[in-house]
Structures are given as C-alpha cells and as structure tokens.
Structure 1
C-alpha cells in the first residue's frame, strides 16, 4: 500500500509543481517584498532606509488615511448589498421571460458591464453635467436648480456608487440566471400542485437554492468594491480629491505621485488585510446563514 501511494504522491507533486512555482513567484514573493517595504522609507523604485514601524505610526496619525478608509467602506456599503439584491430581482424577472425576449433583456442588462470605465465616465459625466446634462432636467424640477453632483462632496460618493451599480449589475444578473436555471422546474410544478403561492415558492424553494450564488455574488462584489479607484479618480478630476479619496487612490498618490514607496506599501498591506478579513468574515456569516 505504501509503495503504491509513494509514486502517486510523486506524480501529484509533479503535476502541482508548475502551479506552486508560479504562485510562489507571482504572489508569495511579491507579498513578502511588500511587507518588507513597509518597514523602510523607500522610493517607488530602489532601496530605502529602515524605519521600523514608522510608516505604521504615520498611518495611524494620517487624517487622509482615515478619510480614504471611510470613503472606501461607505462606497462598499452603498454598492455591495444594492447590486446583489438588484441583480437577484432583475434575474427573477428575466428568468420568467421566454425566447428572444429573455435574450434581449439579458443582453440589455449585461451590455453596460462590457463597457470600459472610461466610456462609463463619459456617458455619466455627460448625463449629469451641471450645465447641459440630460438628467439635470428632473434634478432641476426636483431641487429648483441644476446640481453639479460630482462637485458636491456629500453627493459624490452616492452618485459614483449609483453609476457603479448600473455598470456592474449585469454581471450579477448573469450569475443569478445561471443559478436559477439549475433549479429543476419539477420542484415548482410539485409546489404548484400543492397550492403554493409565488411568494411561498420563492421563500421555500428559490431563496434557499439560490443562496450559494448569493454568497458568491456578494463576496465578489465586496472584494471588487474595496479596491475602488477608477470611477472615483475619473469623476473627481478637477474637484476636491482629498475629500473623495479611496484607499487605492491613496496608494496611487503616495507611491506614484509622491514617490513614497514605503508608505504606499503600508497602505496597500492594510487594504490587503482588510479585504481578506472582511471577505472571510462575510463569506462565513453568509454560509452559516444558508446552513440554518
């Protein structure tokens, strides 16, 4: 038995070796270098002086870091849950359609997702332009005057969150549609024969069976939105960028604009640990909720 298992183990290691080597070179080694860089006062490229925990002390006292952290978490709150629930609601509606109507609606909701962020920025900056934007007509009717939403600080993050949900919800719809199609129609037919209403079918059949997809969508969106940068950077051009800065934006400013590689690496490490902690916590909570 031992002699048989030994060649199998060697074959398994040989098959895993390319992946493990690639993983070590592309992830483990750069991560170790990043951690080491946080203890130095280094430029973006090149060695720097050892400062110990100096970068972490500076991070703790940096008002801009806490502003960027709050903006990032606030953005996550405004996007992850709404985009997940909206994606599920749209998928339930699209799944009821048949034939070309279903294909057309699915394509309509998925089309924004394939657009690059620069195109999304152009579309919405034009629609919400403070002077001639088409959406300023209903805004003016409601507020009494045009409102340049991307220049008003309290409205900036919610507006960018709204644009982001519009942009990415099609991906969530696609995942939910795939999950709904895996639910056998015979289950619904049996429930209908027993006199179950649509609401009861959703609560007792659809929701429990679609829950793993919901966990997947929410986790993907959480990781994606914690790394928000492109939309905020583009829409904040010419505005008060300090008040709208995200954590990735702070990394970009520190490392690439101010050439403070050590401090930028420190912010990046904190963001990495935050993503890991929040993602694992959310996944475990959602999975535990689904197992009840």
Structure 2
C-alpha cells in the first residue's frame, strides 16, 4: 500500500500524463465514436442517424476497394520486411568493429528521413523520362515504365519503397535480440557437429522468435494505417488502384466534408487494427511458449 506522503508526489508525476492522455486521446476517440452515429460535417453538429453509417459501409464499393488495397499492401510489406530485417541483422552481426557500425548506419539511415524526402528521392529514381531506374526497366521489359500511372506497378512500388525506408528499425530490433543469445550456446552446438542451418533452425530461430513476433505486430499496425507514402506518391491512383482505408477516411472527412461517415470508417479501422494486433500477438506468443 502507498503511504499517505507518497500519494502527492505520485499524483504530481503521473497527473500530467493522465490529463494529456484523457484530453488528447480518450476525449477525441469518444467524440469520433459519437460522430460515427451522425451525419455531421467535419465541423459542426449533425443529426443522429444510428447505425445507418455502419450499414452503409457494407454497400460502399469504394470502401470495400480500399480494404482490399490495404490488405494487398500488408501482404506486400509485413512478412517480407520482417524476413529481410532478420537476414540483414544476421549478416551484419557477423561483421566486426567499425565495418559493422558503418553497414548498420547505412541500413538505418533511410529510417530517419522524412517521408517527403523519401518521396523526392524515389520520384527522381523512378521518373519515367529521366529516372536512373528506367534503363533497367528498358533492359528487362523493352520499354520505360511510368510506375505511378500504372495500376500494376503502383502499389508494389510503394511497398518496395516502404520496406527500403522503414526496414532499418526492424534490423535494430533483430540485432538487439541476436545479441541476447549467448555465444556459448553456439559454441556447444558447433562442438556437437551442428552446421550453420542447424544452428539457425534450432537455436537462433526459437530464441529470436519473441522479437520476430514483436516486429510482425508493429509492422501489421503500421501498414494497416498506411497513408503518407500513398498520398504523396500516387494520391490513391491510378483509377483508385492504390486508395487505402486511411486515405478514404481523409477523402470522406476532409475533401467531401462527411465527418460522420469518415468517423465511422475510422472507428471500423481502429477496431480492426486492435483486434488483429491482439489476435496476432497472442497467436505468436502462444507459438513461442
């Protein structure tokens, strides 16, 4: 039990965070939930419409399309970036001294770049006329490719850029996990005649699994909320082929002034992310145990 003289310092230390959490997260979330049951514009009051907005979701073809595109993006990014981060971390872990630090910094550098800088870099690389990647496209396909105007290439291109941009954080997490594995375990396995693949399968992979579960969960949450790259690189096009759920929320709330319906989509996304994240983490943790 807290002693009485400890209560005041505890309130002073915890109070500002609790107040900020209530004002900046809980209140806006409850307000968004309330708006989802109205036909309110972005600013101002609206009429109560009950579950009409939620039933509209099931009839909205653009919303269904944005869900499909979001799932497609998740498939293109979550598992590939996790596996790539693990492979890079293992390879970087074999380096020593300043070379290891240099290579690790090179992989982590893109992660600290703002999304606008990332957009400008890849806009220059993939430019259909002057991009330095176009000679490779012409060599492989016989012609230049305007990736941002091609429905086939647009989403995979954004996914590739996202992996390039964010994978450094995953590498750091995996390196931290790998460094927690005692070298004595590897030495004992090597003395028993275990090869590289055997050591990875029966030592590295089981012991690194909690970190893998964490990376997968973080990546799932981040990629379900994808917006910045899509908005800057494709604006949801061409022909809505890259329009994701968060962009559809933005379009409904800020461009067409349908604050109530935009809030409904946001609530649906929030519940989906929370449910999938908890379910995935529990399944992965159960597998680990």
TM-score bracket for the superposition, by shorter chain length: over 0.9
Note the 1:77-226 alignment, pairs <5 A: 77-226=75-224
Gap change, CA 1:6 and 1:233, over 3 Å in 2 = closer
CA distance in 2, matches of 1:212, 1:234: 34
CA distance in 2, matches of 1:155, 1:215: 30
Q: Deviations over 1:188-208 (max 9, x none)?
A: 112222222111111111111
CA distance in 2, matches of 1:40, 1:189: 65
Query: Is contact 2:148-2:233 (8 Å) kept?
Result: yes
Structure 1: gaps spanning 5 or more residues? none
Report SS of the residue matched to 1:50: coil
Gap change, CA 1:207 and 1:239, over 3 Å in 2 = closer
CA distance in 1, matches of 2:195, 2:286: 27
Deviates more, 1:10-19 or 1:281-290: 10-19
Partner of 1:245: 243
Gap change, CA 1:238 and 1:279, over 3 Å in 2 = closer
Query: Is contact 2:230-2:236 (8 Å) kept?
Result: no
Partner of 1:59: 57
CA distance in 1, matches of 2:108, 2:126: 22
Q: Deviations over 1:245-281 (max 9, x none)?
A: 1111011111111111101101100110110111111
Offset of 1:23 from its aligned partner?
A: 2.9
Report SS of the residue matched to 2:41: coil
Report SS of the residue matched to 1:137: helix
CA distance in 1, matches of 2:183, 2:2: 47
Partner of 2:40: 42
Q: Deviations over 1:3-48 (max 9, x none)?
A: xx4748x849746555444433332222111111001111111111
Q: Deviations over 1:94-147 (max 9, x none)?
A: 000000110011011001111111111111111111112111111111111111
Report SS of the residue matched to 1:49: coil
Query: Is contact 2:67-2:245 (8 Å) kept?
Result: yes
Report SS of the residue matched to 2:147: coil
